[in-house]
Structure 1
Amino acid sequence: MLFKNLLPAAAFVTGATAASLSDVLASQNSTLSTLNSLLASNPDIVKTLSDASDITLLAPSNDALSKFLSNPSNAATVVSQTGLLDALLSYHVLNGTLYASNFTNSSIFVPTWLSNSSYANVTGGQVVEASLTNGSNVTFWSALKQNSTVSQANLNFTGGTLHIIDTVLSIPGDLNSTLVASNLTSADGALQKAGSDLTSKLAGLHNVTVFVPSNSAFSDIANIAGNWTSNQVADILNYHIIDGTVDYSTLFKNNTQAATLGGGNVTFTVDNGTIFVDSARIIEKDVLLSNGVLHVIDGVLNPKNTTAKPNTSGSTDAPAFSGASAASNSVPFTSGVPTPTTTVPAATGVSSSKSTGLAIPIQTGAVGYAALFGGAAILANL
């Protein structure tokens, strides 16, 4: 049985420099007893992590796992969905040894051990976003802008270092599930109207960057959008997708272009930290997807108006569609699209908000692994 890509949950340990991972885990039992219980019946996992080098382990505390399990569906889903526990654990193992002093106020996107294509289609492994918040708190962002803060840092062992975190990371989901959870109902409805050819194509893409107009952005062109055919909607949505590149916000450069799935080029403008795509501004950055990243924008892009320029001196931009206007109480494409009962920060443009009670995502494809250990049953009973 291979454990190379197994989620080093066991690696969630603490210790002094040169201590073994097992020693570190044992020394932190008062804080990590729930995690240690999960790992106790899986010594092979601990050995895999102990033999690894140059890694950073993010270890959920007892309180973090208790919060995770307070969502009734989480434990049940982990038990029933083969391979999910392995994926979840793998997402907590970072490539490279990163001490607290390595983080700054600027975000970095760190690859993890999560490379199982049933859950992640990002070259080099799914990432977590990391930066300092409030000046000194090391914080990680996972799916739907959920944040996890380090409560105890730099617990060193022979293969790297371990940080105890206050929230279990959440594996990013696919585009459709992320739109639903983020209350981006117009975009979700537009994707449905575009038809199965586009949704099937998107599901099979690796390494994508998607610009998603907010509900307000669609409302601003309601008089026009309401008359679009399915083919027109598909053409417009294709202009919002970059295939083959995962462009996190830190990678955008002023006055550069990128080819879209529809064939035309979008132009990026970076002005005093604000990023524009053609004439639309990014109002929520870096919402992670199973196959890339999503950025929420305040306007709908027009593939027939690729020269649209942003209004860098104002707070709003004119629609990229000539003659567009809002219709009274009209939000295009939302008829029949359910509104989620709860929303997450990605829907509001508040990237540092704390979200709680988020459910784990459903896998993106058929699982290729058998269950690698029986710890899921333990998790369900903790």
Structure 2
Amino acid sequence: MLLSLAPLTVSLAALGFANAQTAPEELSSSLEGYDELSLFRSLLSAAPQALSTSLSGKTSNITVIVPTNDAITAYLNESKVSDVTELNIDDIETFFSYHVLVASLKASDFGDHTVVPTLLQGEEYNNRSAGPQLEQEFGSKATGQVLIATKRTDTSRRTKRQKLSGPTVDVRAGLAQDAEMTAVDGKWGPKNVNTFQIVNKVLIPPRTCSTTIRGQGDKLGALDSSLNKTELYPTLDTTPNVTCLAPSTEAFKKAGNPHQSLSKADLTGALLAHTLKQVTYTSFLEDGMVLGTYNDTTVTVHIKGDDIYFNNAKIIEPNVLTNNGLLHILDAVIGPEDETSSTSTATASKTSADSTSAPASTSTSDSSTKDNAASAFSISYPGAVALAAGLLIF
């Protein structure tokens, strides 16, 4: 039986390779009527093998996000080249991989902060695993780096060219880049099983935590100083599957600038208390969920209307993607869970799989004074430096 199956296996592999080889031509043909996409077609023509390699045999049930001419021109300028033919082949493969989604998606498939895997692999851009929610929705092989997509409620966007009209979807890529995608729901490929959408920027793949945090400038300047002081960056950059709960610089100020006053050990423990042991995209968070941190404490998720809190701290910028997870930027330093919280009684049944126990109750409120906030931030964990050194074993 094994011998009889072998030729079938080879023929299926050959078929997948053949389909990958024809995909660039099929996609280019489907884009012929879109004048604003001519540079993308030129890129397909100049480096068809790069797209074929990026597809890795997955030629059906995919969505290609196609940047406009203006987007590619800006990308070329930033790359300091004048023509698509001058781009490095590795960069082109990365470009294609991050612009191909693992499912054929239409405008109706994008909701609020929809997490969609791409074909982008490789630890440099994707040092994380899919997790059960993404595997359930897209399959076990949907392990590539993600984009976050949110369909606008103000329906359609219309440009000078009629064919570039359709619902607008906001797309979050790496380095907190935000782009506008026009959902034209274009069809291509055998039996039109694939789709393409149009975006106004070339999407930037996620980078390390340090690059991402520093890219936020003054907004996360105090956090950057803290991670430098504690020497946690090398570990944070290389540990897979983490969420950094990142107080803004203004939040540090409200807490009395503890990054300047705390010892290295205490500050290390405090930062580990703001680092979750899993990737937590906002679309997968639930009210009352309890999540474990790297200093063996927990934080509780509270959802109040459109706002999401970790204990007392509200997310002011969600889903800032990194290559190993993401950041949520917060308006406050996280303090102990409020014993009187209206949602605290519901946490027991929603404890995250990797959490151990509920946080110790302390009488604290959202209107804590600056001194109380600083005290909450300075909660130390004995052996925090040793724990930080051991982060990589998880």
TM-score in terms of structure 2 length: 0.68
In the alignment, is the contact (CA less than 8 A) between 1:21 and 1:46 conserved in 2?
A: no
State the secondary structure of the residue aligned to 2:40. helix
One-letter identity of the residue aligned with 1:36: R
CA distance 1:249–1:135, shift in 2 (3 Å): same
Aligned partners of 1:267, 1:114: CA distance in 2, in Å?
Answer: 32
Shift of the 98–236 alpha-carbon distance from structure 1 to 2, 3 Å rule, reads same
Q: Give the AA of the match of 2:328.
A: H
Cα deviation for residue 31 of structure 1 reads: 2.4
How many residue pairs get matched? Answer: 304
1:175 and 1:289 in contact (8 A); partners too: yes
Kindly state the Cα deviation for residue 324 of structure 1 after the two structures are TM-superposed: 4.0
Confirm whether residue 260 of structure 1 aligns to residue 293 of structure 2. Answer: yes
Q: Specify whether residues 240 and 152 from structure 1 end up closer, same or farther in structure 2 by C-alpha distance, changes over 3 A only.
A: closer
Match of 2:222 among 181, 186, 190: 186
Q: Distance in 2 between matches of 1:194 and 1:273?
A: 34
Corresponding residue for 1:31? 36
Q: Distance in 2 between matches of 1:256 and 1:238?
A: 19
> Whole-Å Cα distance in 2 between the matches of residues 51 and 80 of structure 1?
24
- Measure the CA separation in 2 of the matches of 1:114 and 1:175: 18
Q: Which amino acid aligns with 2:247?
A: P
Which residue pairs with 1:100 in the alignment?
Answer: 107
Name the counterpart of 1:90. Answer: 97
1:132 alignment partner, one of 131, 148, 151: 151
With over 3 angstroms needed to count, the CA separation of the structure-2 counterparts of 1:190 and 1:310, relative to structure 1, is: farther
Distance 1:41 1:169 in 2: 20
- Secondary structure of the residue aligned to 1:70 is helix
Of 278, 287, 290 in structure 1, the residue corresponding to residue 323 of structure 2 is 290
CA distance in 2, matches of 1:91, 1:163: 13
Shift of 1:273: 2.2
CA distance in 2, matches of 1:122, 1:219: 32
2:309 maps to which residue?
276
Deviation at residue 189 of structure 1 after TM alignment: 0.3
The aligned residue for residue 340 of structure 1 is none
Other structure's SS at 2:261 match: coil
Q: Kindly tell me: are residues 151 and 281 of structure 1, through their superposed partners in 2, closer, same or farther at Cα, counting changes over 3 Å?
A: closer
* Aligned-residue identity in percent: 28
Summarize deviations over 1:123-159 as a string: whole Å, max 9, x none.
2111111121242212322124322223461211124
What's the CA shift for 1:281?
1.2
Task: Give deviations 1:276-296, integer Å, cap 9, x for gaps.
Answer: 111111111111111111101
- Determine if contact 2:126/2:144 at 8 Å carries over to the other structure: yes
Q: 1:75 to 1:301 in 2, by over 3 A?
A: farther
State how 1:331-350 maps to structure 2 within 5 Å. none
Equivalent pair of 2:101/2:117 in contact (CA under 8 Å) = yes
Match of 1:153 in 2: 184
Q: Which amino acid aligns with 1:278?
A: N
Q: Mark the runs of 5 or more structure 1 residues left unpaired by the alignment.
A: 14-19, 326-382
Give, in angstroms, the shift of residue 260 of structure 1.
0.4
Checking the alignment, whether the CA contact within 8 Å between 1:11 and 1:162 is kept in structure 2 is: no
Q: Secondary structure at the match of 1:85?
A: helix
Specify the SS of the correspondent of 1:135.
Answer: strand
Q: CA deviation at 1:84?
A: 3.2
CA distance in 2, matches of 1:133, 1:65: 24
Gaps of 5+ in 2: 1-15, 130-142, 156-167, 344-364, 376-394
Is the 8 Å Cα contact of residues 276 and 310 (structure 1) preserved in structure 2?
A: no
Please say if 1:171 is aligned against 2:214. no
1:1-382 mapped onto 2 (5 Å cutoff)? 20-25=26-31, 27-28=32-33, 30-45=35-50, 52-71=59-78, 83-104=90-111, 106-123=112-129, 124-136=143-155, 137-151=168-182, 153-158=184-189, 159-183=193-217, 184-195=220-231, 198-222=232-256, 224-243=258-277, 245-302=278-335, 305-307=336-338, 317-318=367-368, 322=372, 324=374
**1:251/1:45 CA distance change after superposition, 3 Å:** same
Q: TM-score scaled to structure 1, two decimals? A: 0.70
Higher relative helix content: 2
3-state SS of paired residue (2:94) = helix
Question: Matched residues in 1 for 2:257 and 2:122: separation?
Answer: 44
SS of match in other structure, 1:32:
helix
Q: Structure 1 residues 139, 223: CA separation in 2 closer, same or farther (over 3 Å shift)?
A: closer
Superposed CA RMSD:
3.3
Instruction: Give the partner amino acid of 2:225.
Output: G
Write the distance in 1 (CA, Å) between the matches of 2:294 and 2:225: 19
For residue 308 of structure 1, report the CA deviation from its aligned partner: 6.8
Give the distance between the partners of 1:181 and 1:33, measured in 2 at CA.
Answer: 32
Counterparts in 2 of 1:308 and 1:70: CA distance versus 1, 3 Å: farther
How far apart in 1 are the matches of 2:62 and 2:258?
52
Q: In structure 1, how many angstroms separate the alpha carbons of the residues matched to 2:368 and 2:23?
A: 51
Instruction: Please give the alpha-carbon distance, in whole angstroms, between the structure 1 residues aligned to 2:340 and 2:241.
Output: 27
Q: Pick closer, same or farther for the CA change 1:282–1:309 going to 2, 3 Å.
A: farther
Q: Deviations over 1:344-363 (max 9, x none)?
A: xxxxxxxxxxxxxxxxxxxx
Structure with bigger gyration radius: 2
Q: 2:256, 2:371 within 8 Å by CA — same for their partners in 1?
A: no
Look up the SS of the partner of 1:63 in the other structure.
helix
